[in-house]
A and B are shown apart, each in its own frame.
Chain A
Amino acid sequence: MVSFADQLLVLVMLINFIMLGSSRMAFVIRAVAAQGVILGIIPGLLHPFSGHLLAITASILLAKGLVIPYLLNDAVRKAQIRREVEPFIGYVPTLLLGAVFTALAFVFAQRLPLAPEHRDLLFVPASIATLMTGFLILTTRKKAISQVIGYLVLENGIFIFGLLLTEAMPFMVEAGALLDLLVGIFVMGIVINHINREFSTVDTSRLQTLREE
């Protein structure tokens, strides 16, 4: 089952590239939802069946597959954003950067002092690559909604690393973290809506009133 999880992680990394290369908002939101859902089913493959596992899997699928995409789509619809135009760095360069980061993630993961049973798995490189993708989206895109997506991808990257240590994060903590993420995205969605109303745009490079003269 671990090898199947490993193959799913390849898919997760492919989705990273899809997100880096696409400008259509609706598509990127679907991609990040798909990534969240794939990650949501991996704990089910790694661990024996239990009530806790079922509950946490169900809530991850519900949150990342349905609620968060709904909130994001809602923000997109209200602010009437179709696509990300003029990112700070173009799509081809970000894709190339993404590829470089992914390659570096593999090299780096080789050198880490991992536990023997994790050494030949994709978890750690996939985690680092996804994390870096999240950072890349956060820093190179202008639209507020893209930055939220970058944050979600970053969270997904951290989640992959967390898959190696489910014992350390008991059910309550896991659920609390998920709830915080949900509320965070909810608040961000509202803020995006207000940014759009105040500035008639969701371009965060316009948010420059507050600075030292």
Chain B
Amino acid sequence: MIHLLVLLPLLGALIAWLIPGNRLRPLMLPTIALPHLGLSLYLIASPTVPVHGGWIWLDPLGKITLLAISSLFAVCAVYAVGYLAYRQERSNRVLCLGLLVCLAAMSLVTLCQHLGLLWVAIETTTVSMAPLIYFNRNARSIEATWKYLLICSVGIALALLGLLFLAYATHVAHQNATLLLPDLLEDASALNRGWLHAAFIFLLVGYGSKLGLAPLHTWKPDAYGEAPGLVGALLAGGLVNCAFLAILRVYQICLASVTELLFFQQVLVVLGLISMAVAAIFMARQHDFKRMLAYSSVEHVGILAVGLGIGKGALFGVLFHLINNGLTKGVLFLSSGNIHRSYGGKTVEVVQGALTRLPWSGGLFLAGFIAITGSPPFSPFISEFSIISSIFVQRQYLVGGLFLLFLAAIFIGMALTVLPMVMGTPRTDLEVTDYRDRMLTVGPPLVMLLVIVWLGVWPPEALLQLLKDGAAMLEVRS
């Protein structure tokens, strides 16, 4: 049953590759993604046991990530059918193949209890996304693809070195090197501190560059800016969540080692605050709205890192924010993709008065902006609020003060770009494009927005319980 999560998308990828018609092929995406979502929900709701000698187990942390990834992918898959109908000038064979392979790899990430296998799955997501960033086939997108591919590959290679250090620590301790998470958690406190320290640094740098934590975020604005909105949504809500799950696994080991936890938490808080600061600086006067969304992603990765570093009560907020950030980014990227299609440009000079020209997409983009900056009634408000309140409860006033300052600066910076875009009147000299808001391109982000409101107003009890279970895995046991 659990294998289907990986095998189903792979089968779909194979079929999508074989389908000759450019119009028919995108239908393969929802055909796979919707059953995948159903299967995920079923597995999340049912109790699971480790299989394959403990290698594969869908634990609460994996369940939360799987929920975030699978629901985002299902929405994007439906959207893709509508979006690709406008992009019939290009073959979408590689796009469909890459998306489905990436879904398989992302699902595998959530199932892995062996850190080596987790690494392989994350590297697969990196490679399978690369051709998708290059979908537009121009000089700018090839540059973005190259930067993404090189920085992420080198980063992931460093994470592998970190893993080997971790395994070497177990070798020094008892001659029996292992990377199986339960074993590592069991004997983490007995391992050599020097090797552990080195391992955590390399793992943080490696997965951090995949996550886009500043100062390792440099590929992000380029890749998010040049990729189609659909791919941007999956980068910001899918790959980020996978990399963050890897960081959570490292955090679990830190927690078990006791001595390394404080160091790791401090580094996370500092890197998180730097990310938020970088986002605040580059968000101001940002002309390209897709690049602006990339910096918003850097910001939210920073929020996740700060929350994880603070720990305790913030952990619930971090795990909830993982889901909320993914879905809200989905709304923003998909509606920005629509606006980009309609105006034929993605700078504020070209795009003005989106509410008039595209009432649905413009409205969704505006609502997404309000949601991502943490306003009620949307769910990111709840998760951000619980992180902030936990910071202050723990008397980390400096961290809390900076956190709020950066949030305010980001809100203003983002508003200065978003408001002129959606308000006002469209320019009269715009080129005419054939894009119109239709059911398939507006419906999916709208559904996602409604889910965010639902989670913000009345989160289901089962989800809250799952988040609590996940947070309990990351708490210090006394």
| Residues of A near any B CB (own CB < 8 A) | 112-115, 131, 138, 144, 147, 151, 154-155, 158, 161-162, 164-165, 167-170, 172-173, 176-177, 180, 183-184, 187-188, 190-191, 194-195, 198-199, 204, 207-210, 212-213
Contact = CB atoms under 8 A, between A and B. Distances in A.
Given A113-B192, A151-B150, A167 B142 contact: no
Contacts of A114: 172
B283 to A, nearest CB: 11
Given A138-B154, A177-B119, A209 B161 contact: no
Contacts of A138: 150, 154
Nearest to A169: B116
B164 A194 contact: no
B146 A158 contact: no
B178 to A, nearest CB: 6
B47 interface: no
Contact of B226 (A154, A169, A188, A210): A210
Contacts of B139: 198-199, 209
Interface string B271-303: 000000000001000010000000000000000
Contact of A144 (B117, B146, B153, B175): B146
B59 to A, nearest CB: 20
A210 B221 contact: yes
Interface stretch (B122-130, B250-258, B456-464): B122-130
Give the most central of B124, B127, B179: most A CB within 10 Å: B127
The majority secondary structure among interface residues of chain A is helix
Contact of B153 (A113, A151, A165): A151
Nearest to B172: A115
B116 A170 contact: yes
A176 B114 CA distance: 13
Contacts of A162: 164
Contacts of B144: 210
Chain B residues touching A, range: 35 or more
B34 interface: no
B134 interface: yes
Contact of A168 (B124, B127, B179, B222): B179
Given A112-B194, A210-B221, A210-B226, A173 B116 contact: yes
A213 B284 CA distance: 12
Contact of A209 (B130, B131, B143, B154): B143
Contacts of A204: 146
B314 interface: no
B120 A177 contact: yes
B72 interface: no
Given A168-B167, A177-B160, A195 B142 contact: yes
Nearest to B130: A187
Contact of A165 (B120, B147, B149, B171): B171
B134 to A, nearest CB: 7
B286 to A, nearest CB: 8
B168 A164 contact: yes
Given A151-B153, A212-B282, A180 B127 contact: yes
The majority secondary structure among interface residues of chain B is helix
Contacts of A158: 157, 160-161, 164
Contact of A164 (B157, B161, B171): B171
A175 to B, nearest CB: 9
Given A154-B157, A177-B116, A213-B287, 15 more contacts: A151-B150, A161-B164, A165-B164, A168-B170, A168-B177, A170-B116, A173-B116, A173-B119, A184-B127, A188-B150, A191-B145, A199-B139, A207-B146, A209-B140, A209-B143
A167 B176 contact: yes
B146 A210 contact: no
A155 B130 CA distance: 19
Contacts of B287: 213
Interface string B446-473: 0000000000000000000000000000
A161 B124 contact: no
B212 interface: no
Contacts of B134: 191, 194
Of all A-B residue pairs in the complex, the 7 with the closest CB atoms, nearest first, are: A168-B167, A176-B120, A168-B177, A173-B116, A165-B177, A180-B123, A198-B139
Interface string B195-233: 100000000000000000000000001100110000000
A199 B177 CA distance: 48
Contacts of A113: 172, 192, 194-195
A114 B172 CA distance: 7
Contacts of A154: 154, 157
A173 B120 contact: yes
Interface string B102-130: 00000000000010110110011011001
Nearest to A180: B123
B140 A173 contact: no
B138 interface: yes
A21 to B, nearest CB: 23
Contacts of B167: 165, 168-169
B177 A177 contact: no
Contacts of B117: 172-173, 176
Nearest to B116: A173
Contacts of A165: 164, 167-168, 171, 177
